[in-house]
Chains A and B, each alone.
Chain A
Amino acid sequence: MATVQVSEAEKVYILHGIRDDLRVDGRSCEDYRHMEIETDVVSNTDGSAKVTLGHTVVLVGIKAEIGKPRPMVPDEGYLEFFVDCSANATPEFEGRGGEELGTELSNTLYKVFNNKRSLDMKSLCISPGEHCWLLYVDVLLLQCDGNLYDAISIAVKAALFNTKIPRVHISADDEGGKEIELSDDPYDCVRINVENVPCIVTLCKVGHRHVVDATLQEKACSVASLIISVTHKGTVTCVRKVGGGSLDPESIFEMTEAGKRVGKALHAPLMKLLQQEESLGKKRQKVGFLG
């Protein structure tokens, strides 16, 4: 993970600021940095989104493929996550440097997204026990400036919203053999319901208080953080503690409450933005990577 060196004096300065609900960049403790979202940025995927949060840049692409359902749940499709920590983000990721982080991130993503409460997995099933859609969610870290979890979760949600799965029909012949037939109209596709897809809110314990969307400097002052995934209704679906330090039960409770509050507030503008973008259709000016 990308780290910065923070001197003792700086630490004290940051700590004192947070104590007074005033962070180095002028935010209060529950404020996010400026965020930019663009969907449909990679044409050869079925759904994609790019999220910029401060200087953190995350690109998510989703490819839908036809696979075999898992034997335990024959009538459901499933998701596969892969996080690529590109050496573009930080030189530390070069070679196998980003592997550990990537695995950690993708394991969390499995926990958060790959269950039937977040997504209607049954809608991904084509024919029970034989064919289902398999969504490969590929996350590419382009720049690291703290708070990767939140940025990735928002990008995944946006990309799922954007995903268009080609419509297929199962044609059965007299002998009972089944064949998948593809619609010849490229506009004929299925969308995924993302209503219940949660977002992750990471809360960093700094001193006695906790902050949302910590920068790298703030992170360096923190001993432990709590990862909370929250749905649009404010339901917490997953909580994880990361970092070496310890958290007392009382502050965990406080942090959870704060996470619910922030998460709920995060969903509404996100969905509004996504729908707005969608309604522009073809007229939308694409910004892409050069914008």
Chain B
Amino acid sequence: MSFNVSAKQKRKTKFKPVYTTHYSRVNPHNKTVFAAVMLKSKTFVKKTRSGGVMKIVREHYLRDDIWCGSEVCSECKQESTVLQRDACIESNLCPFPHYLVPDTNVVLHQIDVLEDPVIRNVIILQTVMQEVRHRSAPVYKRLKDLIHDKEKHFYTFTNEHHRETFIEREPGESANDRNDRAIRVAAKWYSQHLKTPEAEAEGLRVVLITNDQGNKAKAEESGLLVYRCEEYIKSLIANPELVDRLALSNNEQNEISSSKVLFPEHLPLSRIQAGIKSGTFLQGTFRASRDNYLEATVFVQGEGEDSTEIILQGLQNLNRAVHQDVVAVQLLPRDQWVAPSSVVLQDDGVPKDDETNEEEDGRRKRICVEEHMKPTGKVVGIIKRNWRPFCGMLNVSQIKESTRHLFTPADRRIPRIRIETRQASTLAGQRIMVAIDGWPKHSRYPNGHFVRSLGSAGDKETETEVLLLEHDVPHQAFSQAVLSFLPKMPWTITPEDMVKREDLRQLTVCSVDPPGCTDIDDALHCRELDNGNFEVGVHIADVSHFIRPGNALDKEAANRGTTVYLCGRRIDMVPELLSSNLCSLRSNVERMAFSCIWEMNHNAEILKTRFTKSVINSKASLTYAEAQMRIDDTSMNDDITKSLRGLNKLAKILKRRRIENGALTLSSLEVRFHIDSETHDPIDLQTKELMETNSMVEEFMLLANISVAQKIYDEFSECALLRKHPAPPPSNYDILIKAAKSKGLEIHTDSAKALADSLDVAKVDGFSYFNTLLRILATRCMMQAVYFCSGMDSDFHHYGLASSIYTHFTSPIRRYSDIIVHRLLAVAIGADSTYPDLMDKHKQSALCNNLNYRHKMAQYAQRASVAFHTQLFFKNRGILNEEGFILFVRKNAIIVLIPKFGLEGTVFFDGKGKTGVNLRFDEEVPSLTVEQHTFHMFDKVNVTISLDDSNIQHQKIRMALLEPVIPGVSVPAPEVEPQPKKPKLDR
């Protein structure tokens, strides 16, 4: 037996008996009272990752000092109560005051109802809380918020730890049955506990709300007052509108739908998992097509670079998947593969759906071309729904009395949703939010319920809310927990702070920003040293001094990622006290800064770089125009002006050198609205003008960012947060090269330098705007710049700036990335201590993903905001004539840019009412011949601009051709006849 002795001896005993005694625990409510505590153990068996089975035992304490939280109770020694004495909700089922006890499914599915201000005095049992937490994190968060809301009087009762309400699972009882019983026992306990003379006088009772038939029957048996959720909500006399918010439960779905099964059944999760393991199914994210409601792609993430896209076509194959769901897909046999169709199809929701489907099916098959075929599949099951409440508008049903209506989401990728509401007439014309409850297999559309109204469509506030919601921009007011980490006012710099910081208050520092800017995060100075060199300083608001890692304020900022600037509104990343006051480097106040100070010679070569935390006192907050005026005004010779002139001189050298190295100067038109101070409506629109001072500030910011990027990368090669801009794939430039060729010019795209040089020389005589157009086009060819963690990537190059390394350091008030960079730099120079997450490249990388997502969404929201304000601007202006240039030529349209407004629009040559127009598209040139006239890129055209509000949900700027005149295509000048309304087939 000796051969296995050593192996055995290495193994330690598999269990350790624990000798512990539990006499008492301190009562959390009242520190002096000791409560009797009983020990139970909870046992369950779990499967381990390696396939083993593990028995887990948890100690579970029962106590008798858990109070009921009701005002009427005199027995419980509670310090404060949550549940009110006169808990009245006007109901014709329960005319007496009552507390509600919802079960888990009611909380999970009817959270929208519970959130209504009418519903108060609700007891949330711990059993329910735990189950909700387990089943749905978002609902759990909303429930937590409800409980924290003092107005709602929601009380959590820890029934699982209460000596009288704790129950153990019995043999043969399923986990769900046990929880239902626990809920009943707790409700029963409450109804007995509240049978005090005082409560009797009020007539106070406890009402259990459940939709489970079995549970309801059992509860009635034990003498509880119990209602189904619908029953109860419908009984609320004063608030009939609440019924609309009820999520549809299963039995109601049956009534709605016809018996006809429209969709194949979804497979159960266990079979899906087995299928994915064996490779018969593929898992991926469902992405509905924006243009064609019958088509979608599923993005299957493979290992490394190996990811594929699968095409799904036809309602049957889409099988009730909604945009962003995680689905399981089965590939169809190769002979059924199709090519993505290029038709634009919108679901008009006509009743004869099925016929049209088949018709379209036929059309699709004809379209597909052999070589463009892609892997095609069908959805067999849903792994995870990603439903959120959707913004959109109601299509009021034709039948007046009907309570069932279709809802059209603003996002075209989301299908229409069938909802039930009694207030259709009020909701028509309003922007509303609707949540999906389910999609039964015999229903053409998913079923949902009304959540809330955002306001009337077209209204500025409403539309802004919609675009924030649709772009997932967190814009709620900062919570108390976040605000609690703000410094207390009045705030001053203490002597302790001064010891740790360099005193730069005597320097002539000033800031240059756009007009009206209140979050000033950078300031500059420049002075001549005794040795003839320049000392240049970039001083950045020291936000990381105020936002300490890991606290609620930090987490909120990390989640928001960036400040979002909309027209006329700013959604701050950090609370206003910081963004507009304590961090903002305003003039003539002492502010903390993180300074980057260089010594430069007259050729703007850096001789020395140092970084330090400092205290500065800005001498002036200037706008770009003011700064420009000071530089140009030879009569001014004060310190500030001298400093500005020095900076300007160095900036010019820096810029020239940067461009020599191959940095790109690209162009995109930015517009600025003049907003009426009273109505906040845009009254004028002009493109932003760039001054020398803009580029002066920019140069030094770039320089600071590069210097800091180098420093943090040298110090932390694994976890530096950097920003890269990948070079675009050569095919991106095709359109640019073709466009230039049509004007007889050549564009080299082998390197950034070559591109920059060829853009510089690309000029056409007598067409001064051509170069700008070309640069706009070049911008469109570029890739998105992204944040990344240096330890997770090897390519650091910033293509646009032609810099080998880059990061963001200069705007910590409005970008979270800069805060991280500040922290890294502070650690690097020994000014601050580090923390574990900062050095964890995986956490860092996850943070970068969020920041990249937020930046992208912020950009989209910004564009959407500009587009909306542009529409407002054109709303009352009727039809305008403008001169524009063709930016792109498409198969059936031209895209026209109006330089005056920085506005882009599409002029269609086909569509209803314009049939029979002879179109010839040449992809090589590219050009489009309409009847006799051929359009090329950059051609000058005259168009009419007007607002098309025929579809109130998607209002559009409409353009129509004026010149060149093509009979049957161009429209006459607007004075003669108003522009004919065209169908809404545009994008």
Residues of A within 8 A of B981 (CB): none
A side interface size, CB within 8 A: 42
Q: How far is the CA of A103 from the CA of B9 in the complex (A)?
A: 8
Q: In the complex, A110→B2 CA distance in Å?
A: 12
- Nearest-neighbour CB distance to chain A for B179, whole angstroms, equals 13
Report whether A138 and B13 are in contact in the complex, using a CB–CB cutoff of 8 Å: yes
**Given A180-B51, A185-B174; A63-B15 close (CB under 8 Å):** yes
CB of A44 within 8 A of CB of B15, answer yes
Provide the residues of chain A in CB contact with B17, threshold 8 Å: 41-42, 59, 61, 140, 289
1/0 contact string of B1-33 vs chain A (CB within 8 Å): 100010011010111010101000000000000
Q: How far is the CB of A242 from chain B (nearest CB, A)?
A: 15
CB distance from B943 to the nearest CB of A (A): 61
B8 contact set on A, CB distance < 8 A:
80-82, 103, 106
Task: Report how many residues on chain B are interfacial, defined by Cβ distance under 8 Å.
Answer: 37
Least distance between A178 CB and chain B CB atoms (Å):
10
Q: A99 to B271, alpha carbons, bound, how many Å?
A: 51
* Selected interface stretch from A71-79, A166-174, A207-215, A243-251: A166-174
Min Cβ gap B330→A in Å is: 13
Please tell me if the beta carbons of B53 and A168 are within 8 angstroms of each other in the complex: yes
Chain A 163-191 interface 0/1 with B at a Cβ cutoff of 8 Å (1 = within): 00010100101110101101011110000
Question: Please, how many angstroms separate the alpha-carbon atoms of A102 and B5 in the complex?
Answer: 10
> Nearest Cβ distance between residue A190 and chain B, in whole angstroms?
12
Q: Which residues of A contact B21 (CB under 8 A)?
A: 290
B491 proximity list for chain A (CB < 8 A): none
List A contacts of B53 (CB < 8 A).
64-66, 166, 168, 180, 182
Measured CB to CB, the closest approach of chain B to A282, in angstroms, equals 8
A174 in contact with B278 (CB, 8 Å): yes
In the complex, whether B134 has a CB less than 8 A from a CB of chain A is no
A84 touches B (CB below 8 Å): yes
B1–A107 contact, CB under 8 A?
Answer: yes
Bound CA–CA A61/B57 (angstroms): 15
A43 within 8 A of B: yes
Task: Identify which of B45, B57, B170 gathers the most chain A CB atoms within 10 Å of its CB.
Answer: B45
Q: Which of B1, B43, B46, B278 is close to A177, meaning CB atoms less than 8 Å apart? A: B278
Kindly supply a per-residue 1/0 record for chain A positions 25-65, scoring 1 wherever the CB is within 8 Å of any chain B CB and 0 otherwise. 00000000000000001111110100000000001010111
Question: Which residue of A102, A110, A166 is within 8 Å of B1 (Cβ)?
Answer: A110
Q: Are A65 and B52 in contact (CB under 8 A)?
A: yes
Do B13 and A140 touch across chains, with their CB atoms under 8 A apart?
A: yes
How far is it, in angstroms, between the C-alpha of A66 and the C-alpha of B55 when the chains are bound? 12
For B13, what are the chain A residues with a Cβ–Cβ distance below 8 Å?
61, 82, 84, 138, 140
Q: Could you tell me the distance between the alpha carbons of A230 and B19 in the complex, rounded to whole angstroms?
A: 35
Are A186 and B57 CB-contacts (below 8 A) given A177-B277, A177-B278? no
Q: Is the CB of B278 within 8 A of A43?
A: no
**With contacts A84-B13, A186-B169 known, is A46 near B5, CB below 8 A?**
no
Bitwise interface map of B from 258 to 281 toward A, beta carbon under 8 Å scored 1, else 0: 000000000000110011011010
How far apart are the CA atoms of A106 and B275 in the complex, in Å? 46
Secondary structure of the B contact surface, majority rule: mixed
- Residue pair B55, A180 in contact (C-beta under 8 Å): no
Bound CA span A180–B47, Å: 9
Q: Taking CB as reference atom, which chain A residue is nearest B19?
A: A289
Give complex CA distance A99, B55 in Å.
28
Is B172 in contact with A187, judged by CB distance below 8 angstroms? yes
Please state if A61 and B45 are interface contacts (CB–CB under 8 Å): no
- Given the complex of chains A and B, what is the CA–CA distance between A177 and B8 in angstroms? 33
- Is the beta-carbon distance between B175 and A184 smaller than 8 angstroms? yes
Chain A residues near B271 (CB-CB < 8 A): 173
Cβ-neighbour of B55 out of A44, A84, A168 (below 8 A): A44
Which partner residue on chain B sits nearest A137 by CB separation? B14
Decide yes or no whether B44 CB sits under 8 A from chain A. Answer: yes
Q: Please report the C-alpha to C-alpha distance between residue A103 and residue B15 in the assembled complex, in whole angstroms.
A: 19
Contacts of B1 in A (CB 8 A): 107, 110
Q: B142-179 CB contact bits vs A (8 Å, 1 = yes)?
A: 00000000000000000000000000011111110000
Q: How far, in angstroms, from A242 to B57 measured CA to CA in the complex?
A: 40
Q: Is A177 a contact of B57 with CB atoms below 8 Å?
A: no
CA distance A84 to B13 in the complex (A): 7
From B9, B51, B57, B173, A66 is in contact (CB under 8 Å) with B51
Known: A66-B52, A106-B8, A182-B53. A136 touches B45 (CB 8 A): no
Give B169-203 interface residues, CB cut-off 8 Å to A.
169-175
Give, as a whole number of angstroms, the nearest-CB distance from B60 to chain A: 11
What are the residues of chain A within 8 A of B11 when measuring CB–CB? 82
B581 within 8 A of A: no
B41 within 8 A of A: yes
Which of B15, B43, B280 is in CB contact (< 8 Å) with A186? B43
Chain B residue at minimum C-beta to C-beta distance from A134: B52
- Cβ-defined contact, B15 with A45, below 8 A: yes
Q: How far, in Å, is A227 (CB) from chain B's closest CB?
A: 15
Question: Contacts of B47 on A, CB cut-off 8 Å?
Answer: 180, 182
B43 touches A43 (CB 8 A): yes
The residue of chain B having its C-beta at the shortest distance from the C-beta of A61 within the complex is B15
- Contact A185–B172 (Cβ < 8 Å): yes
Instruction: Assess the A186–B44 pair: CB atoms within 8 A.
Output: yes
Question: What B residues does A173 contact at CB under 8 A?
Answer: 271, 274-275, 277-278
A44-B15, A177-B274 given; A103·B52 CB < 8 A: no
Interface residues of B in 35-73 (CB under 8 A from A): 41, 43-47, 51-53, 55-57
Residues of chain B with a CB closer than 8 A to A63's CB: 14-15, 55
Alpha-carbon distance between A102 and B8 when the two chains are bound, in angstroms: 11
- Output the nearest chain A residue to B279 by Cβ-Cβ distance: A175
CA distance A174 to B14 in the complex (A): 37
| Chain B residues within 8 Å of A48, by CB | 15
Give the distance to chain A from B271, nearest Cβ to Cβ, in Å: 8
Indicate with 1 or 0, residue by residue over A94-116, a CB within 8 angstroms of chain B CB atoms: 00000100110011001000000
Of the residues B14, B170, B275, B280, contact of A45 by C-beta under 8 Å: B14
Contact B15 A184 (CB under 8 A): no
- How far apart are the CA atoms of A173 and B175 in the complex, in Å? 26
A residues near B277, Cβ cutoff 8 Å: 173, 177
CB 8 Å contact bits of A6-21 with B (1 = contact, 0 = none): 0000000000000000
Q: Which of B841-876 contact A (CB under 8 A)?
A: none
On chain B, the residues within 8 Å of A82 by CB distance are: 8, 11, 13-14
CB distance from B178 to the nearest CB of A (A): 10
| CB interface residues, B 780-825, toward A, < 8 Å | none
The distance from the CB of B371 to the nearest CB of chain A, in whole angstroms, is 34
Q: Write the chain A residue with the least CB distance to B175.
A: A184
- Please name all residues of chain B whose beta carbon is closer than 8 Å to the beta carbon of A42 when the two chains form the complex: 15, 17
Interface string of A202-221 (1 = CB under 8 A from B): 00000000000000000000
The smallest beta-carbon distance between B48 and chain A, in angstroms, is 9
Chain A residue contacts of B41, Cβ below 8 A: 43
Which chain B residues lie closer than 8 Å to A174 at the CB level? Answer: 274, 278, 280
Please give, as numbers and ranges, the residues of chain A lying within 8 Å of B275 by CB-CB distance.
Answer: 173
- Which chain B residues border A168 with CB–CB below 8 Å? 53
* Residues of chain A with a CB closer than 8 A to B19's CB: 289
| Nearest Cβ on chain B to A140's Cβ, whole angstroms | 6
- Docked CA distance A106–B270 (Å): 43
Interchain CA distance A193-B499 in the complex, whole Å = 78
**Is the beta-carbon distance between A99 and B9 smaller than 8 angstroms?**
yes
Closest CB in chain A relative to B373 CB, distance in Å = 28
> Complex formed: what's the CA distance from A290 to B19 in Å?
9
In Å, the complex CA distance between A46 and B5 comes to 25
List 13 additional A-B contacts (Cβ < 8 Å) besides A43-B43, A61-B13, A166-B53: A42-B15, A61-B17, A63-B55, A65-B52, A81-B8, A136-B14, A138-B14, A138-B15, A166-B45, A179-B274, A180-B47, A184-B175, A187-B171
5 pairs of residues in contact across A and B, judged by CB atoms under 8 Å: A44-B57, A63-B55, A84-B13, A174-B278, A182-B46
Which residues from chain B sit less than 8 Å from chain A, CB to CB? Answer: 1, 5, 8-9, 11, 13-15, 17, 19, 21, 41, 43-47, 51-53, 55-57, 169-175, 270-271, 274-275, 277-278, 280
Which 9 A/B pairs are nearest by Cβ-Cβ distance? A187-B171, A173-B274, A175-B278, A44-B57, A63-B14, A61-B15, A43-B57, A166-B45, A138-B13
